[in-house]
Structure 1
């Protein structure tokens, strides 16, 4: 149950932060955002604030922000349609009743002759009580269609995604992955402040209870000057000497509280990848510093990003197998293992997953943020946008292929971990 809770929290936070980036920058650009959703499928929880409906959906495989002009909720009023009109205090149409008009006896009934609810914001037509006189009504900037008892906000062209500048659209899409990198940086910085960050000094960090270092009398904070009369200046050098000498007694020359000491330590042998290495049961030294945590967090975010990109590079070079990919099931099992090491490691795992999510979304694959950005780059080069229908078809095919890949990866994870 602890693993389930940890997985839900981590997944929820990563998706929430990602989609929040899209939402904030879209709203800053003046785009009408109809829905902010965590998950896909049937709605489990929903509430509305201002113009946006916030939902949690059943299937935990992502999330989305539905922006006006990018969704199918546009209602077209064609000539001959009969609609009901309700007006605000300024005399503008603020509600257009599409069906079930009998429930709105106070509405003015109109046969539509012409309607432009994007640019002109007008409806012209004949009142059913006076079919001889053509009348024109101004539509409010914030107006709603009422269909099947549900209100759907009309989106004038200036509130639609496609009306915004290339830069505004680019930032609305790029902001999602960007927020994942920012989240990772914040987590690493927080851990550095409250727990400390590793430093590359030849200093003994925390000791394990059953390790050779504890048995030999080493203490946390001891500075290792030399091993067997060979000087040691960094943590990497210290680890290298220890690993190269399993079951061999080593003379540690250390300084403790200003005093020089010599302590013999025999590393225990452990087999890693069919190779015997020495270990003494100590962790890398940690340092707490508020200001120092921020550059360390930036470095760690960069290093993990580079590591993930290098791993993805194997897709291109052919050094790839399906086992290198993990879906929700694989991530759940990894979370289960990491959770056993405590909250600190779980937070670090969340930061790494956040970086991974950001990088994956930046790949130039249709239906992902990177695919959208690829079309924006083409628009910048061509000087005009790619045909929306063609772009939509590409994204649809890309989404279908991604879902197929997700199913294959998930089945592979189930076989690997449960069968």
Structure 2
């Protein structure tokens, strides 16, 4: 019988807020390093490992999204494809034979186009750029292995996870299950700035290792919403039902695109620090059509087709979360061996036959106008009342929408979600 390797992929908290109340951001802007991550990334060009792996990571994001959609139906969705793919790519360092092949296929890596070394170098570079202290956006990502005293990991595996994934190796006593659970939960809570607490409820008695990936993001809008303009409004769940939400409003120039082919509007709302949120508003009755068209080519087309023009934008405030059984979703994607007695993780440990017994992911997002309500309330705008031709379009995100958060520095999708009901209770 194989020992159990618990793999926890989780973990992120995401908080999107306005700019007021953050003097640090202003100081960072003034003191921005000439060797900022944006400059470094652009200088590296198309041969950089993270640019080579970006298309596969996009493919994985949308493939995983479609499996989640099949499982949850007409419910809110929110997850970090980058968190999940990083954790499984790290695991693949210890995988061999068919187990390794399945992981590569599941993560959308084609070894006729990319060498295995380049995959890990790509994630290594993403981690470096994500965690760069010169970035204006608050973004951190990391990995940890909690290892039972009874398990002896191979030095090569330890060296590789440290070198490519900057993973911490933390010795734990899994025979004292309550203490091990507390230790892991405390680690997760600290790394996600208390956004995810008490995630791990129990441990399989056979567990000898827990792998954790976390990502934390807090972005400040380049142009914060004025909370004096926020009002109660209807968000239409379907043709017959609606809920009351706090609807934010701006009338400013944004990058927008009307995709007539799949019937949707796309609005790009930038954060400080070279990250953007793409909000996608399908026409009534076309959500499935838009979801089916979610491919890297579609998103690339949107981002290359933007035109900047003034719009009247309505966007709901919302806070949603998602929890997923990644093991079950990966099995539907053809990644089965790593979870079974056929698992070959022989590159990981000495004298131990390992398999992954559990893989879970939890994510949350909080979208609002700004950091501090009182200070923002002192901001008032005056605009000339001149007639414009053509008049700015009204784009009202008052029915189910998609949200994709893209880090332009690493060309990575950090998060992807569907907001069906912004007023739904969080799980």
- Larger RCO: 1 or 2 (CA < 8 Å, sep 6+): 2
Q: Normalising by the residue count of structure 2, what TM-score does the alignment of the two structures yield? A: 0.20
Q: Which structure's residues are more often helix, by fraction?
A: 1
Structure with the bigger percentage of strand? 2
> Which one has the largest radius of gyration?
1
